[in-house]
Amino acid sequence: EDQVTQSPEALRLQEGESSSLNCSYTVSGLRGLFWYRQDPGKGPEFLFTLYSAGEEKEKERLKATLTKKESFLHITAPKPEDSATYLCAVQPDRGSTLGRLYFGRGTQLTVWP
Amino acid sequence: KAGVTQTPRYLIKTRGQQVTLSCSPISGHRSVSWYQQTPGQGLQFLFEYFSETQRNKGNFPGRFSGRQFSNSRSEMNVSTLELGDSALYLCASSLAEGQLYEQYFGPGTRLTVT
């Protein structure tokens, strides 16, 4: 069964304190892994797509990496505006799952000044 | 380019009633997926439409249905509402080129069932 697990569930960081969020996945074959950011009461905002192990992508203070079993979202010198829930999702490599993403439960990040 | 829009943004309904939610995808996107988000279950896939055809369906009862129009706009309908249907309903659109589906989400419709 396709499964996505994110850890930790919640993370509190002081401004400037770097850390990483983890997303581990179990799928029969991976077509793509996605990271989203979600603010309270809003829809998820697309951040990154990763296609294959070893791939890395960066955007401002965020860097996403991918291995065969997990992905990490590294946050360097976070600011309070980075506070949000970060969601990881996978797209399995099966025709029967086209258009369907499997989401983890997310990591709620709070960055305090 | 305008993003995904959803209407209405908020709804309050009574048990037993039915509701229709609307989604307009990003211009040029042909795939529309619907998700239900609750604190207890997270984001759960409802169904996906592509070129007016439902291609994929999640594990929800038949009370949940949807459709897509020729302009790619989509609607979902929930009949005989239950208290447990209270959730944020999210629509996502995708270009659906090749086999990779980067999905872009709308702001959601917050449904409250009393």
Instruction: Give the whole-angstrom CA distance, residue B88 versus residue B105.
Output: 12
Which candidate in A88, A101, A102, A105 is best for mutational testing of the B interface (most B CBs within 10 A)? A101
- Of the candidates A31, A44, A105, the beta carbon closest to that of B105 is on A44
Task: Tell me which chain B residue has its CA closest to the CA of residue A32.
Answer: B100
Instruction: Give the whole-angstrom CA distance, residue B24 versus residue B5.
Output: 5
Which pLDDT score is estimated for B36?
Answer: 98
Whether A67 and A53 have beta carbons less than 8 Å apart is answered as yes
Which pLDDT score is estimated for A14?
Answer: 97
Q: Report residue A96's pLDDT band, with 50, 70 and 90 as the boundaries.
A: low
Q: What is the pLDDT of residues B8-42, one digit of tens each?
A: 999 999 999 999 999 999 999 999 999 999 998 99
pLDDT exceeding 90 applies to what percent of chain A? 80
| A 38-77 near B (Cβ less than 8 A) | 41-46, 49, 51
Helix, strand, coil percentages, rounded to 5, for chain B: 5, 55, 45
Q: What's the average model confidence in pLDDT over A4-27?
A: 97
Bond prior to B8 in cis (omega within 30° of 0):
yes
Which pLDDT score is estimated for B97?
Answer: 64
With 80 as the cut, is the pLDDT of residue B99 above it? Answer: no
With 90 as the cut, is the pLDDT of residue B86 above it? Answer: yes
If one compares B74 and B56, the residue with the highest pLDDT of the two is B74
With 80 as the cut, is the pLDDT of residue B100 above it? Answer: no
Instruction: Give the whole-angstrom CA distance, residue A83 versus residue A66.
Output: 23
Q: Report residue A16's pLDDT band, with 50, 70 and 90 as the boundaries.
A: very high
Q: Compute the nearest-CA separation of A97 from chain B (Å).
A: 7
Which pLDDT score is estimated for B102?
Answer: 86
